[in-house]
Structure 1
Amino acid sequence: MFGELTATLIKCADFEAMRTFYRDRLGLPTVKEGENWIVLDTGEGRELVLGGDTGGDTIALAFTKADLEAAREELASAGPSEIERHDTMHRFFVRDPDGNTILIND
């Protein structure tokens, strides 16, 4: 297992409309936000990130608390990116067989 599925990230064509819909209409509480991104609490330690780094795709899934070296080695045949530092964590990206982005971080 490569950590826990803890976040769904969505790139937004219209960030303000997306934030209004998920935060105000659906009532998801804000965890933190910045310029053109917001993290919303979806319950049970899970988050929805709007406008965050999706690895270039429209949607990405994030697994946290992973052993990055072991996960990257196990996924070597899927062509993972290099491990990089991002804010307070380290991470890498890999794509599933349909081309969806998977973010794995510590």
Structure 2
Amino acid sequence: MSAILIKCDDFEAMKSFYRDRMNLATVKEGDNWIVLDTGSGGELVLGGDTGGDTFAVAFTKADLGPAREALVDIAPTETEKHSDMHRFFVKDPDGNTVLVID
């Protein structure tokens, strides 16, 4: 796992808490989203696309074709372009959203 994405009810408060109070460095930022460096090789994405849920875990640098094919029995979404990458979503056995990104 390389990232956790959190949908924010109060984006500015969440950004202030994690960036300023928890001292996480900004990797990149846009309108109503920010990517923060967790300091341990991972990223915390606030306000990012979580597939409609409150949070999602993300695996990056995946070979999307084989990854999606391995999960086809649990109905992953279609692969889609997102920013400068491609991705798909799938649910784990407990119903949590998992994001797989190339």
* TM-score, L = length of structure 2: 0.97
Post-superposition Cα deviations, 1:33-62, rounded to whole Å, max 9, x if no partner, equal 111100000023310000000000000011
Q: What residue in structure 2 maps to residue 40 of structure 1?
A: 36
C-alpha separation between the residues in 2 aligned to 1:57 and 1:38? 17
Task: List aligned pairs for 1:31-70, cutoff 5 A.
Answer: 31-70=27-66
1:27 aligned residue (23, 44, 47)? 23
Q: What residue in structure 2 maps to residue 72 of structure 1?
A: 68
- Listed as ranges, the gaps of 5+ residues in structure 2 are none
* TM-score, L = length of structure 1: 0.93
Secondary structure of 1:19 counterpart: helix
Q: Percent identity?
A: 71
Aligned residues between the structures: 102
Q: What residue in structure 1 maps to residue 10 of structure 2?
A: 14
The structure with the greater share of residues assigned to strand is 1
C-alpha separation between the residues in 2 aligned to 1:25 and 1:93? 31
Secondary structure of 2:14 counterpart: helix
Post-superposition Cα deviations, 1:52-102, rounded to whole Å, max 9, x if no partner, equal 000000000110111111111110111100001111111100000111110
C-alpha separation between the residues in 2 aligned to 1:44 and 1:12? 23
Q: What residue in structure 1 maps to residue 89 of structure 2?
A: 93
Secondary structure of 2:17 counterpart: helix
Over the aligned positions, Cα root-mean-square deviation in angstroms equals 0.7
C-alpha separation between the residues in 1 aligned to 2:5 and 2:58? 7
Secondary structure of 1:43 counterpart: coil
Query: Following TM superposition, where does structure 1 have runs of at least 4 consecutive aligned residues deviating by more than 6 angstroms?
Result: none
C-alpha separation between the residues in 2 aligned to 1:88 and 1:94? 20
